[in-house]
Chain A
């Protein structure tokens, strides 16, 4: 379904256009003056921008459209279970997400071909960056699928997904630096918020520190979001 719908390709084109533009901008900054970090670090540090617009575009249709058109009825009267449907939609969206990000490696390849300077291509941040994208992508796409299962309307699902993603990515940063959380009594909450800091995870991954606790955060978040999606689809059937 994803491969036949136009919105997938629009998402892909918009994403690559944006990332290409950012990459060019980074290289221009480099040509003006030497920078402290490698291009890859700066490139991946704006990961949230494409995530916030691309993940909703890829996932908003998956369950919301099926419910609106009524095709969920024909889908669920086959030997396929609701779990298989949700996991199938999730898997397709995730693979596409990885494919789009993977195609940005073309940008690095172009840089390698045309720039003589080997210092520009530091493999550490590049691999760390892609690993972070792959792991955090598990969680973000699952949130997208969950948001889609909550509504019949694609637009509502898309905006809900964007909102949740912004809340997680930036809300965490905001809460982490909030003064009112520094109190003794709220220490466990502060610890939890510090653990869930996505920007911190990003820093760690690009520096090459792959912490299994952080991996666990994403994997468990994914599993939770998918379980909620499955329950949401079934609940809407029971209470229709």
Chain B
């Protein structure tokens, strides 16, 4: 029996937001299916927080259409707010309440039934490892605990969509690991939209990544797709010694696109570090090794340099939106 397709968890189309002459969000469109974890990357001031605030119904948009689980945010904000758990930037918390009091207060605000609330609070405290500090005043907690209180509060009512603005900021590596596992455990059950500057985190946790710059989406896709699309090439690094003059020949015989990008100085044993590049995505490591050895080169090390998301991010945000807008025009022009 064919499954009835569910409405996507988040659907944004042609969203624009201007503040007093400044265009914060300039015609962005994207869609997030249910159960996905999506990362929002962008330099500061790119429009990430503004977009998140519009998604939760806190700020009104200037134009465009946003819907969460099929409910339009502008027409039915109440339904949207019941389905969203939100953790704003800087995680604002009332300084004078205790952790359990605060979670109880938030649970009642989100209309979690009283009977279920007690046990749900216990579950969430366990999930976020806050049992030890449940009776402590929030103002007296350290940063890591406060972030976890914020995350606990956003998952408290088990909303289908969770939006978190920089959840791991200021945390130490242990705490980042805990939060990362927590977010990964939500995959499938809830749709999560995270924004962050900590690129390795996004790479490890997210299914897809959206890169925003100056209010426009400059790249979107899975981390692998992005690496390929934005950087467009694979790189290898080989440490070899011997007759290097024949290297271009060797490389050409494996793959016409394979070429030497740079050559380092020889060390005391005569080995140089040579960087190769190719547009071909397939793994040519074995072929390179075999070819080099058969030609008599002495090879000490061979590795495939994986561009990190940071390289992708820097490349994507260096490109202005002009470059992105041109491609569809070139493709669909007369």
User: Which residues of A are in contact with B by a Cβ distance under 8 Å?
Assistant: 1, 4-6, 69-71, 73-81, 237-238, 240
- Cross-chain contact B82 with A79 (CB below 8 angstroms): yes
User: Which residues of B are in contact with A by a Cβ distance under 8 Å?
Assistant: 19, 53, 56-60, 78, 81-82, 84, 86, 88, 90, 92-97, 101, 106, 109-111, 153
CB distance from B74 to the nearest CB of A (A): 13
Residues of A within 8 A of B53 (CB): 73
- Cross-chain contact A69 with B95 (CB below 8 angstroms): yes
- Cross-chain contact A78 with B110 (CB below 8 angstroms): yes
* Bound Cα distance A81, B77 (Å): 10
- Cross-chain contact B101 with A4 (CB below 8 angstroms): yes
CB distance from B117 to the nearest CB of A (A): 14
CB < 8 Å neighbour of B78 from A1, A4, A79, A240: A79
CB < 8 Å neighbour of B86 from A5, A6, A74, A238: A74
Q: What are 25 of the A-B contact pairs (CB < 8 Å)?
A: A1-B97, A4-B101, A5-B96, A69-B95, A71-B92, A71-B93, A71-B94, A73-B58, A73-B86, A73-B88, A73-B92, A74-B92, A74-B106, A74-B153, A77-B57, A77-B84, A78-B109, A78-B110, A79-B78, A79-B110, A80-B109, A237-B59, A238-B60, A240-B19, A240-B59
Q: Which residue of A lies closest to B95 (CB)?
A: A69
Residues of B within 8 A of A78 (CB): 81, 106, 109-110
CB distance from B102 to the nearest CB of A (A): 10
- Cross-chain contact B82 with A77 (CB below 8 angstroms): no
CB distance from A100 to the nearest CB of B (A): 20
Residues of B within 8 A of A5 (CB): 96
* Bound Cα distance A79, B81 (Å): 5
* Bound Cα distance A1, B95 (Å): 10
Given contacts A237-B59, A238-B60, whether A77 and B81 have CB atoms under 8 Å apart is yes
* Bound Cα distance A77, B159 (Å): 12
CB < 8 Å neighbour of B92 from A70, A79, A80: A70
Q: With A73-B53, A77-B81 given, name 10 new contacts (CB 8 A).
A: A1-B97, A5-B96, A69-B94, A70-B88, A71-B93, A71-B94, A73-B86, A80-B109, A237-B59, A238-B60
